[in-house]
Amino acid sequence: MRTHEIETPEFKPRLVVSGLLLLVVVLLSPRAIAAQAKGATPVNAKTSQVAPLPGDYVGQETCATCHDEVAKGFSSNPHTKLAEMHGKTGITCEGCHGPGKAHVDGGGDTTKIFNPAKATAKEVDARCLSCHQGQHANFERTAHGENNVSCVSCHSIHGGEDKGLLLRVAEPKLCFQCHTDIKPQFNMPFHHKVQEGLMKCSDCHDPHGTFEKKNLRSSAQMDMVCTKCHTETAGPFVYEHDVVKTEGCTACHFPHGGPNPRLLNRATVNTICLQCHSPSPNFTTAPIPTGPAHNQAVQYQSCTICHTDIHGSNTHPDFFKTNF
């Protein structure tokens, strides 16, 4: 009877040495990585530039030794409130211009500091939006952003005519510097009271961008920018005037100013109405109603003599004013 011997595993020194080396690498790797990180210069992943170190900042008191005229007026600047926050480590000169040590050591070398006046529009916008991104998230998609109208084109960070918003020039003069085609409309006989100071361009338009055309202030309702003041036309109504909901206020009215009362875009009311309410050979089905059942003599030319609730009615489908 043959006895089965138990085989002893063969000793393999190469395998043992490899295992020990692997253990050493695992133990030393965290220390090596930490040492490398400690000695390395931090890099800003977003800009691929070397991030400033705490020692690169000199403080606003040092800036004031040369820029005294700016420092004196900065106490009334809205950014000062942020500068006083968090133990005076908030927004200071270097918050916008970058660390000043190299600038000071270079004897005021302007190439060692960020100067918005010499930077591109995109560089300026990126610097401002690093703080104001939340309020102006759509700025880069606006006509202003796409056409290199930078923040400092409208705002004077150290001060301006409008202290609250740091505008270089107060509205509407600021807007008219570029929008020269709009300014004459406010000189028309009938116009919104912008030049008189009762309204501002920014009441209707958001210069920093919206998802609406012409940077109109966004709203769930199409013409909320108009009906927030003209509340009587807002509705909802039992009988809606479809054109108001589909084409909007500007189907019948000039938005800025015009030669006709109520900013109507036609001299007589019936010419506005008959643009839709007229039978045409170009259409197989005319709009309903197709037009007036009475003559168009002068005394009847204003359709709103009878159809008084032209923006919508709660009592009559033809927008007659019915008194109960």
H-helix or E-strand containing 209? none
Rg of the chain's alpha carbons, rounded to an integer?
35
Q: How many CB atoms lie within 10 A of CB 200?
A: 14
* DSSP conformation letters of 38-98: HHSPPEETTTTEEPPPGGG---HHHHHTT-HHHHHHGGGSHHHHHHTHHHHTSS-HHHHH-
- pLDDT by position in tens, the chain (length 324): 444 444 444 545 566 556 666 665 555 555 444 444 444 444 443 334 566 776 788 888 888 889 888 877 777 777 776 655 555 555 678 888 888 899 999 998 988 999 998 899 999 998 888 888 888 888 888 889 888 899 999 998 887 777 778 899 999 999 999 999 999 999 999 999 999 999 999 999 989 988 888 888 876 566 888 988 998 998 889 999 988 888 889 899 999 999 999 999 998 888 888 888 876 666 555 555 656 666 666 666 688 888 889 999 998 888 887 654
Indicate the burial class of 5 (C-beta count within 10 angstroms; 0-12, 13-18, 19 or more).
exposed
**Nearest Cα to 76, choosing from 162, 187, 138, 10?**
162
**Residue 68: phi, psi to the nearest 5?**
-65, -35
> How many degrees, rounded to 5, is the angle at CA 303 between CA 293 and CA 279?
45
pTM of the model: 0.71
**Nearest Cα to 249, choosing from 283, 214, 280, 298?**
214
Question: How many Å apart are CA 222 and CA 249, to the nearest integer?
Answer: 9
| Strand duo 49-50 + 257-258: pairing | unpaired
* DSSP conformation letters of 105-174: HTTS-GGGS--GGGS-HHHHHHHHHHHHTTT-TTGGGSHHHHTT--HHHHB-TT--SBTTTTBSS-TTHH
Question: How many Å apart are CA 286 and CA 278, to the nearest integer?
Answer: 7
Residues 6+ apart with CB under 8 A from 222: 245, 248
Report DSSP state, residue 87.
Answer: H
* Model pLDDT, residue 263: 95
**Residue 112: phi, psi to the nearest 5?**
-100, 10
Under 8 Å between Cβ of 262 and 232: no
Q: How many CB atoms lie within 10 A of CB 74?
A: 19
Neighbouring-strand partners of residue 167:
155, 162
Question: How many Å apart are CA 114 and CA 91, to the nearest integer?
Answer: 15
Structure tokens, 258: 């015009």
* Model pLDDT, residue 292: 60
Q: What sign does the dihedral 186-188-191-197 (CA atoms) show?
A: positive
What residue type is assigned to position 50 of the chain? V
